[in-house]
Amino acid sequence: MSIEIRSVFPVIKFDINGSVNEARLLGVHVFYGVNNAIVVLDDVSMDDLKSLIGKMEYRFRKGVGYKGEYYRLKFKEESSGRYVFYRHKKVKNRLKLDNDSVLVLGREDLRYVYPLVLASDLKDDGMHWSENYIIFPYEYGEKQPVSQDRLKKMAPSLYSYLLSVKEPLMRQSRYDKRIQNVKEFYGVIRVGKYTYSDIFVAIRDNTKLSPCVISRIKTHWGEYKNPIFDGHVSYVAVGSIEEAEYLVSKLKNKKVEKIISKLFDARSIGTRLPINIPKYKP
C-alpha cells in the first residue's frame, strides 16, 4: 500500500460555540489505498506526519465472523463432570445474555470451546477478559472446521447442539461460502493460520485502538487456550512478549493516536494502519 502526503492548503478553524475567535492552520491530503483523508495540522505537525506515516510491516486481521446468538457462551458452573454455559439472544439487534437458556457440555466437548475476546475487553491498561467463550469447531492450526463425523465422535453433545440449530446456521453458511470457502455449516469466517499463536497484539476497530498484548487464556476448566477474537477486534500474531510490547508501545504513541483519529472514522478503524512501524529486531 503506497502512502503519500500531498497538497498542503490553508484551513480556518472556527469556534463551534459561535465565538469570533478563529485559528488559521494548515491541512494536508494523505493518500493511502483508496482513501484520501484530510488532516488538519492543529495538534499534530507536518514533521509528525512525515516521521510517523508510512508502511506498517505488521498485517492486522479482523476477528472471526459468526452468529453470536448460537456461538457465544458464558460459563455458569461445573456440576458432576458436566459444564453449564449460558447462551445469548438477540434483543433489538443487540446480543444479550440469556439467563433462561443454557447449553450443557461434557469435558470432551470443551475441545472446541475457546475464550472469546471482545472489543470492549481491550482497555488502555490492558486486556480485561469478560469471560465470554465461543464454539469454535476447528483443530488447532486449521483453516477449515472439523468434519461432521469427527465432531460427532470427539464432541457428541456439541455436535447435537449444532445440529439442532442447523437451519439458521445454514442461512449464514450460504453467505459465508461466498466470502470464504467454509466446508461445514457450522464453520465461521476469517479463519487462517494467523488465527493461532501463543501471543497476539490486538486493537479495537472502533472508538480508539487500545492496543493490548494477549497470550493464552486460562479457562474455567483449567486449560490455557488460544484466544479467538470477535469481529470488532483486529489482531496480529507475534513471536515473543518483547515483540508484542514493542508493537504496543509504537501504537500507544500519543501522536500516533491523534493521527489515527484524524485518518479514520471512530466507528470504523481499519486493519491497514498507515503508520511507519518496521518489524521488530531482537
54 and 115 within one domain: no
Query: Under a CB-based contact definition with an 8 Å cutoff, are residues 248 and 201 in contact?
Result: yes
Are 93 and 31 members of one domain?
no
The pLDDT value recorded for residue 214 is 98
Structural domain includes residue 201: no
* Residue range of the domain that includes 93: 67-195
Domain final residue pick, 139, 169, 195 = 195
The half-sphere exposure of 252 on its side-chain side, counting CA atoms within 13 A, is 16
Of 32, 24, 22, 11, whose CA–CA distance to 276 is shortest?
Answer: 32
Which of 36-45, 72-81, 138-147, 272-281 shows the lowest per-residue confidence on average (mean pLDDT)?
Answer: 36-45
Cell of 160: 447435537
Q: Is the dihedral of CA 50, 55, 57, 62 positive or negative?
A: positive
Pairing status of strand 217-218 against strand 224-225: antiparallel
Judge whether 234 lies within some domain. no
pLDDT digits (tens, 9 = 90+) for 156-185: 999 999 999 999 888 765 555 555 678 899
Q: What is the pLDDT of residue 174?
A: 58
Report the pLDDT averaged over residues 6-24: 62
Q: What is the pTM of this model?
A: 0.87
Select from 195, 218, 253 the last residue of a domain.
195
Please give the residue that has the higher pLDDT: either 211 or 259.
211
141, part of any domain: yes
Model confidence pLDDT, tens digit, residues 231-254:
999 999 999 999 999 999 999 999
What are the tens digits of pLDDT across the range 78-89?
999 999 999 999
Q: Regarding beta strands 228-229 and 113-117, do their DSSP bridges make them parallel or antiparallel, or are they unpaired? A: parallel
What whole-number distance in Å separates Cα of residue 187 and Cα of residue 189?
Answer: 7
Domain tally, the chain? 2
Exposed/middle/buried for residue 97 (C-beta within 10 Å: 0-12, 13-18, 19+)? middle
Instruction: With respect to residue 7, please indicate whether it lies within any of the assigned structural domains.
Output: yes
Shared domain check, 181 and 149: yes
In a domain, 161, yes or no: yes
- Cβ neighbours, 10 Å, residue 229: 25
**Is 268 within a domain?**
no
Q: In angstroms, what CA-CA distances link 39 with 4, 218, 261?
A: 12, 43, 10
Cα separations (Å) of 148 from 65, 155, 177, 243?
A: 20, 10, 17, 38
